[in-house]
Amino acid sequence: MHSIQDNNNQTQQTICLKVNGLHIENEVGLTLVQHLDFELKQGATLAIVGESGSGKSISSLALLGLLSPNLKIQGQAIFEGQNILHLNQEQYRKIRGKKIAMIFQEPMTALNPLHRVEKIVGETLLLQGESKQHVRSRVIELLHDVGIPEPESKLRRYPHELSGGQRQRVMIAMALAQEPDILIADEPTTALDVTLQAQILNLLKTLQQKRNMAMILISHDLNLVKRYADDVIVMNKGRVEEQGQIEDVFNHPKTTYTQHLLNHDFGQALCINPEQPLLQLQQLGIKFPIKQGLLNRIKEYVIALEPMDLALNQGESIGIVGESGSGKTTLALAVTRLIESEGKIILLGRDLNQLKESQLRPLRTNFQIVFQDPFSSLNPRMTVAQIIGEGLILKQLKVNEIEDLIDDTLVKVELPIEFKHRYPHELSGGQRQRIALARALILKPKLIILDEPTSALDRTTQRSIVQLLRRLQQEQQLSYLFISHDLQVVRALCQKVLVLRHAKVVEYQNTEQLFLSPQTEYTRQLIAASQY
C-alpha cells in the first residue's frame, strides 16, 4: 500500500512543511534532537523511526508547541510561510487541530475519562460556535468514517466502555474533526493486536487519500512503516542515522544501527522436557452479569470466556494470543483470582477457586502478574526500591535482608543497583518493565503471568526483555503464561500457544507446529499479519 502518488511523482507534490536544523536541548545542555532536516509533501507519509529516547516524539511535539518551556528549541519549521517553532500560545491555538493535528500513543490516557464520545470528538467544533445538532451529525459522520459500527450507539459511551481499537478510532475521529492539513500519528497502533494494527493503518491511509493530507508516522517498528510510508528518517539518540525513500533505506541500509533495527530475530524458545505439573485449568469459564431495573436484578450474562482446559508444567511457557476482546486478559485475571470464575484453577495441587481470600493470601507469592503498562502499574510516588520491596513487608525480614534481596533482584533483571533510588518517571519504558518484573521476581514465584509486557517497547528493547525472560526461565525453572498479540515474540519464548477468539479457544498446539501448520483460518491470518 502506498501514498496516492508514486514516489517518482513526489517531486511534483507541494511541500507543506519544511524543517531546517531543528535542535532541542534540555536545561543542562544535553542534546535531545540534533539538527533535524526534512520536507513533508502534501498527500505523502513521512515515517520517523527509532528506539525509545531517540527523539521521535519530541521533534513532533515541538511543531505544536507542546514541549516544556525549559527546553531550548532552535531551527525552523516553515508552515504556510511562517516559522511555527517560536509562536506564542495564541498563535499555536490557530494551528493545533485546525492545521496540524496529532494522534497520541495511548488513547486511554489521552482521552478525557469524564467525557462521553460525543463531547470528546465534537468539543472543538462546539467551541467554534457550531450548533449542537450540526455537531452531533458531524460526530456521527466522523465515527462512521473511522469505521465504528453503529456510531449513534457509541455517542454516550465513556472511553473505558470502548475496546482498544474503538478508543484508537475515536482519537483519530477527534484529530480529523477540523480537517487538518497534516496529521501526526505517534505510535498509533502500539497496544493493538496485529489484525487491528493493519485495520487502523489501512484506515489512516484511506482517510489520508480521501483528504489529501500529509502524515508524519512515528513508530519503533520498521517493518510496519515499510507498508505505509513514502519516506523515512531513522533516529538514534537524537541524531539522524539516515533518511530517504522507503525502498532505498530498507533495501540498502547504510548504517549498522538501521541494520540492527531491521533485525527481527528474537532467537529460539528453550527446548525443555517438563515433568512436574504446575497449573491446571479445568472447565474454567467466566461470565459477567448484566443488571437492570430499579432492583438491579441480573437479566442476562455476557460470556467473557467459554469453559476451557489448560495444563502448564514447571519451567514451561504457554503463549496466549488473540485479537482485542478475545478474552486473554480476562483469563489472566481469573487465574490470579482478581475476578470470579467457574471451574477449577489447580496450582501446586490446590484449587484456588475453593479458597477464601485469607487462605489464598499466603499462596499469592507462588503466582505473580506483570501488567501491560508499567507506567500505570508502578506507584509514581515510590522509589524503585520501595516498589520492588513492597511485597516483602509481610515477610517480617530485617531491613538489611530486604536491601540485599532488592539489590540481587535488580541484578537479575539486568539493571544497575543505583537505580533503586530513582522514581518511575526517571526510567525508560524498557527499564520500567524490568522494574515491574523485578517486583514479581523478588517473591520467588513459580508462575508469572505476563500481560502484553513488550507491546509498548521498541524492537531492540523487546529483544532484550525476551532474552531476559528466557534466561530467568532456564535458571529458575519459571513458568510463564505469556499474553501477547505479537506472534514473533511468542515464538521466541513459548513452547506452546493457545489461540483465543471471541472468548473461545480456537487452537492449542506446540509453537513450531502452530507456525508450520495452523489448524484454523483465523490463526493463519494472525501469523500472516505478524510477518508483514
Q: At residue 11, does pLDDT exceed 70?
A: no
- Is the four-CA dihedral 343, 346, 347, 350 of positive or negative sign? positive
According to the model, what pLDDT value does residue 1 have? Answer: 42
Distance CA 472, CA 51 (A): 24
The yes-or-no verdict on residue 270 having pLDDT over 80 is yes
H or E segment and range at residue 513: helix 511-516
Least confident of 37-41, 163-167, 184-188, 286-290: 163-167
Higher pLDDT, residue 227 or 505? 505
- Interior/surface letters 504-513, b for 16+ CB within 10 angstroms, e for the rest: ebbbbbebee
- Alpha-helical runs (H) found in 285-421: 328-335, 357-360, 374-377, 384-389, 399-412
- Residue 10 has a pLDDT of 43
The CA angle 505-511-512, to the nearest 5 degrees, is: 135
Residue 269, SS3 per DSSP: coil
3-state secondary structure of 35: strand
- Supply the pLDDT for residue 33: 96
Contact by Cβ (8 Å): 181, 214: yes
3-state SS record for 46-63: EEEECCCCCCHHHHHHHH
In the predicted structure, residue 245 carries a pLDDT above the cut 80: yes
Confidence of residue 12 (pLDDT cuts 50, 70, 90): low
User: How big is the CA angle at 81 (ends 79 and 85), to the nearest 5 degrees?
Assistant: 50
Per the CB < 8 A criterion, the answer to whether 139 and 118 are in contact is: yes
Domain 14-99+182-192+199-204+212-260 belongs in CATH node 3.40.50.300: yes
pLDDT value at residue 307: 97
CB atoms inside a 10 Å sphere around CB 4 = 15
> What confidence score (pLDDT) does residue 6 get?
45
pLDDT digits (tens, 9 = 90+) for 486-522: 888 999 999 999 999 989 999 999 999 999 999 999 9
Question: What percent of the chain is predicted at pLDDT more than 90?
Answer: 62
Q: What pLDDT does 191 receive?
A: 64
* DSSP per-residue string spanning 484-500: -S-HHHHHHH-SEEEEE
Q: Concatenated DSSP letters for 403-451?
A: HHHHHHHHHHTT--GGGGG--GGGS-HHHHHHHHHHHHHTT--SEEEEE
Q: Return the CATH architecture of domain 314-341+348-529.
A: 3-Layer(aba) Sandwich (3.40)
Helices marked H in 46-106: 56-63, 89-95
Residue 348's CB is within 10 A of a number of other CB atoms, namely 15
Mean pLDDT confidence for 83-88: 92
| Mean pLDDT for the stretch of residues 43-65 | 91
**Confidence band (pLDDT; 50, 70, 90) for 5?**
very low
Where in the chain do CATH 3.40.50.300 domains reside? Answer: 14-99+182-192+199-204+212-260, 314-341+348-529
In this structure, are strands 504-510 and 31-41 parallel, antiparallel, or unpaired?
unpaired
User: Cell numbers 493470601 label which residue?
Assistant: 361
Which grid coordinates are listed for 166? Answer: 474503538
The three cell numbers of residue 183 are 496529521
> pLDDT value at position 532?
54
Average pLDDT over every residue of 127-152:
91
Residue 406 has pLDDT above 70, yes or no: yes
In this predicted structure, the answer to whether residue 525 has a pLDDT above a threshold of 90 is no
Buried b (16+ CB within 10 A) or exposed e, 274-293: beeebbbbeebbbbeeeeee
Which three three-digit cell numbers place residue 67?
514541549
**What CA–CA distances, in Å, run from 17 to 14, 37, 38, 166, 249?**
9, 11, 8, 30, 22
Q: Angle at the Cα of 329 (from 323 to 330), degrees rounded to 5?
A: 110
